[in-house]
Amino acid sequence: MSKEILVVEDSPEIRILLESSLEEYRTVFCATLKDATLAMSKQPFQLIILDIGLPDGDGLRFLAELAGKPETRSIPVMILSAKADTANKVMAFSVGAEDFISKPFDPIELKARVAAKLRKFEKEASRSELIKIGNIEIDLLRQKAHLVTRGGPEPLDLTTLEFRLLTYFAKSPDHVLARDTLLNSVWGYDVNITDRTVDTHIAHLRKKISRSNCKIETVVGAGYRFVVS
């Protein structure tokens, strides 16, 4: 799956440097905290690069809010800021920052640090081989899923793509995921398929999990949302 990075930075000049440094990743840029919050509601990210001084608020306060939410606290956050005094660094690390990079920065060093944080994130994610959501359990190691019932586990007969879809949804509950996000993350960027293909696979997956307390809701004009009832 693709590595997706959210960059919250309002400087056009810094954005150009970051685009060059992070060209191998799928990067979403936001100039405000409001836009960043909206972007995070639409898709999951593996890393966040965050400025401190933003037009609509304090990046450190935003970081503290992320650390306080179960759905975002595990996402590594790198602070990228010209406010590199000791007080800001101490505050950043105390509220959950993984790293602090001062402006101006060396693009090569930033690229290396990003790669290191993403590797760490992947290793930590791989340690969790079982995802439990509602009464569905997903075994990532064996690539199998089953429904938990009073009579015992019942296997869900999923295709490889259905399993990948279910896993992706289960990792982002309550998020609205656009069709393009699902296409890029589950099928891959180079696969020539249509939105209709996504709809068809989701329709099949819905039927197969219909006896669970998990549902895939259609959000008109936006995409899909995985919820536990």
**Which token pair is 27?**
């990067």
Pairwise CA distance, residues 75 & 96, whole Å: 10
What local confidence, expressed as pLDDT, does residue 126 receive?
61
Residues 174-227: tens digit of each pLDDT: 999 998 888 888 876 545 667 788 899 999 999 999 999 999 999 999 999 999
In the chain, the percentage of residues whose pLDDT exceeds 90 is 60
Sheet holding 176-177: strands in order across? Answer: 176-177, 223-228, 214-219
Residue-range domains of the chain with CATH: 4-127 (3.40.50.2300), 130-228 (1.10.10.10)
Chunked mean pLDDT (size 10), the chain, 229 residues: 85 94 93 94 89 94 86 86 90 90 93 90 69 91 87 89 92 91 75 76 95 95 93
In a 10 Å sphere around its CB, with 0-12 CB exposed, 13-18 middle and 19+ buried, how is residue 128 labelled?
A: exposed
- C-alpha distances out from residue 26 to 51, 97, 101, 117, 229, Å: 19, 21, 20, 15, 32
Pairwise CA distance, residues 134 & 228, whole Å: 6
| Amino acid identity at 197 | T
- C-alpha distances out from residue 164 to 39, 200, 201, 204, Å: 22, 14, 11, 13
Write out the H or E segment, with its range, that includes residue 28.
strand 26-30
The residues facing 218 across adjacent strands are 224
Rg (CA), the chain: 19
